[in-house]
Amino acid sequence: MTGVAGFDTIDLGPGADAPVLPAALRHGRASAHYEQRLARTVELLRQAAAEHAGTVVQASSLGVEDMVLSDLIHAQGLDIRVATLDTGALHLETLELIGRVRRHYGIDVEIWRPAHQAVLEFVGRNGPDAMYRSIPLRKACCAVRKLEPLGRMLDGRSAWITGLRREQSAQRVDVGEREVGADGRVKFNPLAQWSLGDVWHYVALHGVPYNPLHDRFYPSIGCEPCTRAVAVGEDQRAGRWWWELEGAKECGLHPEGRHAVGAKT
Q: How many Cβ atoms are within 10 Å of 212's Cβ, its own excluded?
A: 16
Q: Which of 90, 81, 260, 82 is nearest to 178 (CA)?
A: 260
Tell whether 1 is covered by a domain: no
Q: What is the DSSP string of 142-166?
A: HIIIIIHHHHHHHTT-SEEE----G
Tell whether 99 is covered by a domain: yes
Tell whether 219 is covered by a domain: yes
pLDDT tens per residue, range 32-71: 999 999 999 999 999 999 999 999 999 999 999 999 999 9
Residue 251 a catalytic site member? yes
User: How high does pLDDT run on average in the chain?
Assistant: 88
pLDDT tens per residue, range 177-220: 999 999 999 999 999 999 999 999 999 999 999 999 999 999 99
Q: Whole-angstrom Cα distance, residue 173 to residue 190?
A: 14
Q: Structural domain of residue 198, as residue ranges?
A: 38-248
Domain count, the chain: 1
Q: Which of 159, 148, 166, 142 is nearest to 222 (CA)?
A: 142
Tell whether 81 is covered by a domain: yes
CATH for 46: 3.40.50.620
Q: Whole-angstrom Cα distance, residue 64 to residue 191?
A: 11
Tell whether 204 is covered by a domain: yes
Tell whether 154 is covered by a domain: yes
